[in-house]
Structure 1
C-alpha cells in the first residue's frame, strides 16, 4: 500500500512518522515544495519506507500529478489548498484524508463526483475537527433522544506568558480565523450563525491546566450532519482566562479586518499587519503545549436523563519530541488513512468523520488512539 502525505510541516511530518510504523503500509511519499522541509521530515521519520518528493502544490493539476498511482493521501496543507487537494484526489482517483474542515458545504457538493471516481474523501480529520466530531456523533447514537452536544477543545501553552497567555503551535492564519468568523451551531434543531467569540464561559480542566475560558466557534460539518439528531449543538474553543477578551477588543477595533487599507505608501490589511505584530507575542516560553478536549452529550436513555462525557488532557510528547497539537491532530488522520488502505473503511464519496467512526467502528478506533498515546477518558452521568 502506498500513502502520500501532502505537506511536511510539523503535523505532516508527524503523519509521515506514524504511518511509517504501520506494517500494512509499504511506501510513504512525503511531498513538499521545499527540499529542506522534506529532508527534515525524512530525518525525523528515519524509516526506509519513506521517500521524499519536491513538487508544486499550488494547483489541482500539480497535486493530481503527485497522487497518481497512490492508494491514499493525507492532506496537511493550508486552508486555501484544502478544496484544491480534494478536487485533485477525485481527478487522480486517490482516497484522501484532509485535516481541514472548513468550506464543508462546498466539499460535500463534490460527493457524487467522488463516488463516481470510486474514492473516499474525509474532510476535517484531526482533533477538532475530527475526534470531537465522532465523539459527539457516538454520544448521540448512545441516547434515545439527544438534547445537547457540546464539543470543547483547545491547544494551550504548558507555560503561559502574558499578555495573551497563548502560543501558536501551527498556523497563525488558522488561529486568527477563530476570532473573526461567525460560528455555525445548532439551536432548537435549526442551523444558526452566531457572532465570533460569543458564549464566553468559565471552564476547568484537571491539572496541570486548571481554570480556562471557552467561546463558541464554528462546528464545521458536525452542525450540518447532526442537526436532525440533536436539539442543540455547539463547538467551543479553550484559552486561558483573559485571552478572549483581549482578542475581542482587537476585533472590535478593526485590527483583524481583511479589507485593504493604505498606511503611508503601503497597501495592506489590518489583519496582515496584526499577524506581524502578534506573531512574536505568541511564541511562548517553551515549545511545550497541552491539548484539552471535552465532549458532553446529554439526553434521554432508558427513560432517564443521561450525559455521556469524554475528556482528554494531552501534554507535549517528550518521547516523540512533538507538540501535543501535532500528535493529537496527526494520529487520527494516520489511523484513518491506514483503515482506508486496509479496507476497514469502504465508503465512497465525501463523507465526514462523524459519519464513519461511530457504532461498531467507534471503540476499535478509540482503542487504537489510546495505543498510540492519545488517551481519551469516558464516563456516564445520571442527571437529576
Structure 2
C-alpha cells in the first residue's frame, strides 16, 4: 500500500486526506500544532506531524518515507514549498496556486527525476484538463471558464464567503486580468467586463474578469480566444469596487496612533470574520467550461457544467470536495503509472494523455461531483 503525505491540514487538505485514507496510508503535515490537534480530533485514525514546509532540511527528512506528496499550503508559500519538495526527490501533486509561474521549476523536476503536477484543483485544474483533452482532438478556437464558490444564504453587503484567506481573494480583485482575444494577449483591470449569466438551480450571477488563465497562457497560446471569469451574486462587484476605490486594498503603510499598518492587512483581518464560512454553513460551487472549434469537417462546441453542494453527511464544503477530489484523481494517475513523465506539468498536459481525462471524470463521478456535458454542432 502506498504512503502519501498531505502537507496542509486546512479545509481542503483534510478532505484530501480523508478521501485518500480510504485506500492508502496517509499522514497529514502542518506547521500549526493547533490545526493538527483539531484534525486529529475529527479523524482519530490520522497520523500527523508538524512541519515547516519552508525549511528544506525539514522537508527532505519528512518526505523520505512517502511515495507521493500532496501540497496544499497557502498560495504565498506555494512556490518555495513546491521547490523544496522537488529538491527532496518526491513526486508531488500541488494545489497551492502560487502567484509565481511554477512551470519554471521544470528543469529542477527533471534534474531530480520528479513528476510534479501543479494547479490540480477545480479552477485552475479541471478546466485546464478539459481544454487539454479537446486540444488533442480538435483545433480549438474559443475557451471560456466561468467559476465561483458562493454561500447558499445571501447576506449583504458582500453576499460572499471564502473557503480560503481573504488576502488570496483580494489578490484576484486587484491583479490585472490577462486573457487572449484573436490571438493577442490582452490585459484589463480585474472586475471589468461584467455580465449577467443564468444558471439552473441558482438563477442570475454576475461574471467578471480575473487573472485565472495561469499556466494556459504559456501552454495553450495556440488557442486564439481564452478567458476565465469569476462568478458572484449580482452586486458583489459594486461592493468590492467601493472598497478598492476607497483605498482599503492599498499596500502602502499608514500611521494610526503611532502604529504603522497597511490598509490591506486591516481589511483582510476584518473580512476574515465577514467572509469566513461558519461550521456546517451550506455553500455551492458552480463552473461552466465552454470549448469550441473545428473538429474534422464540423465546427463543434462542448459545454461542461458542474454544480456541487456542501456535503451534509461528511460536513465537507463543496469547494474542498471539488478541489480535493480533483487532486486525488490526479494522485491516482501518478500512483498507478498512468502519467509518469518527469518534469513540472499543468493539468492541460495530462488531459490529452491516454485516458487520463476520463479517469479523472470517473473518479469525481464516484464522489458525486458531476460534470454534465452538452455537445453542439455550430453553423460556420
Normalised TM-score (structure 2): 0.93
Residue 115 (str. 1) matches residue 110 (str. 2): yes
Provide, for residues 313-333 of structure 1, a one-character-per-residue CA deviation record: whole Å limited to 9, x for no partner: 101111221110111111111
Whether the aligned pair in 2 keeps the contact of 1:158 and 1:289 (CA below 8 Å) is yes
Whether the aligned pair in 2 keeps the contact of 1:206 and 1:313 (CA below 8 Å) is no
Aligned to 1:177: 171
Aligned to 1:204: 198
Aligned to 1:246: 239
Aligned to 1:304: 298
Aligned to 1:31: 29
Aligned to 1:16: 17
Q: Secondary structure in 2 aligned to 1:109?
A: helix
User: More displaced, 53-62 or 362-371?
Assistant: 53-62
Whether the aligned pair in 2 keeps the contact of 1:216 and 1:237 (CA below 8 Å) is yes
Within 5 Å, give how 1:215-254 maps onto structure 2: 215-218=208-211, 219-228=213-222, 230-254=223-247
1:196 to partner: Cα distance: 1.3
1:135 to partner: Cα distance: 1.6
Aligned to 2:146: 152
Aligned to 2:256: 263
1:383 to partner: Cα distance: 2.3
Q: Secondary structure in 1 aligned to 2:373?
A: strand
Normalised TM-score (structure 1): 0.92
Q: Secondary structure in 2 aligned to 1:161?
A: coil
Residue 275 (str. 1) matches residue 254 (str. 2): no
Aligned to 2:91: 95
1:104 to partner: Cα distance: 4.8
1:134 to partner: Cα distance: 1.0
Over the aligned positions, Cα root-mean-square deviation in angstroms equals 1.8
How many pairs does the alignment contain? Answer: 375
Provide, for residues 73-115 of structure 1, a one-character-per-residue CA deviation record: whole Å limited to 9, x for no partner: 111101121111111112210011110333453x222212111
Q: 1:59, 1:239 → 2: CA distance?
A: 38
Provide, for residues 304-356 of structure 1, a one-character-per-residue CA deviation record: whole Å limited to 9, x for no partner: 33211000110111122111011111111122123212212201111111111
Structure 2 stretches of 5 or more lacking a match?
A: none
Q: 2:111, 2:274 → 1: CA distance?
A: 48
Aligned to 2:155: 161
Q: Secondary structure in 1 aligned to 2:168?
A: helix
The 1:284–1:339 alpha-carbon spacing in structure 2 relative to 1, beyond 3 Å, is closer
Residue 141 (str. 1) matches residue 141 (str. 2): no
Provide, for residues 2-30 of structure 1, a one-character-per-residue CA deviation record: whole Å limited to 9, x for no partner: 111111011111111011012xx2x2111
Aligned to 1:72: 68
Q: Secondary structure in 2 aligned to 1:330?
A: helix
